[in-house]
Chains A and B, each alone.
Chain A
């Protein structure tokens, strides 16, 4: 049971917009930055979004992050086949004094 809650799956057709939610609490998302990681099949996770909504160099602007209260979301616009991957949200938890992750969301491009 993950501390952060994500839907197990999401899907869309090429060109569509897909949104993934990440729900937490006041001790994690509510008081700390949210990070998103993309994990392509058979590879290591890659930092996709940091500080709630910032993209590292090289990440397309089709990916965007937002946060409101104790929830966060990742949006993928203009969905492409190469976006098929698992997406994980993460945050620091002040109560647990550690990093917590969501269970991951598998995005399928139909």
Chain B
């Protein structure tokens, strides 16, 4: 059974860069044609897609976040990462790593809360 676990800083200062990693176990990040991505949920709001990356390196990012987002894959560690630059309070959210393409996300991490402080 595939499992995914987010890790990273839970508190980031405004204007700095948020960095999260998702460790994948129970399956290889290079198997299949699935991309790996990130979705977030700000407090009191709905889900927001951030983007996803294929192990080949091809990326699809949310146009509203594209200028600040970088995703990468580390096949040797079977994990992938998210960097979001120039964060503001609006980036405070629970961040989930996911497997899937289009809007079909079949595996989710448990989520990690990231708070942006001033």
Which B residues touch A90, using CB under 8 A?
Answer: 47, 49, 103
Which residues does chain A contribute within 8 Å of B51, judged by CB atoms? 98
| Docked CA distance A44–B105 (Å) | 12
State the interface size on chain A (CB cutoff 8 A). 27
User: Count of A-B contacts with CB under 8 A?
Assistant: 63
Docked CA distance A35–B108 (Å) = 15
In the assembly, what is the distance between CA of A6 and CA of B110, in Å? 24
List CB contacts (< 8 Å) of B1-54 with chain A. Answer: 39, 45-49, 51
Q: Is the CB of A44 within 8 A of B103?
A: no
**A55 CA / B96 CA spacing, docked (Å):** 22
Chain A facing B: main interface SS: strand
By the criterion CB–CB under 8 Å, are A2 and B46 in contact? yes
Judge whether B109 and A44 touch: CB under 8 Å. yes
Contact between chains at A37 and B47 (CB < 8 Å)? yes
**Which residues of chain A have C-beta atoms less than 8 A from B61's C-beta?**
98
Query: CA of A99 to CA of B103 in the docked complex: distance in angstroms?
Result: 6
Please report the C-alpha to C-alpha distance between residue A50 and residue B106 in the assembled complex, in whole angstroms.
9
Q: Contact between A103 and B46 (Cβ–Cβ < 8 Å)?
A: yes
Verify if A100 is at the interface (C-beta below 8 Å from B). Answer: yes
CB <8 Å contact, B108 and A44 = yes
Q: Smallest CB-CB separation from A92: which chain B residue? A: B102
Q: Is the CB of A104 within 8 A of B108?
A: no
In the complex, are the beta carbons of A104 and B46 less than 8 A apart? yes
In-complex Cβ contact of A98 among B45, B46, B47, B49 (8 A) = B49
Query: Contact: A100 with B49, CB < 8 Å?
Result: yes
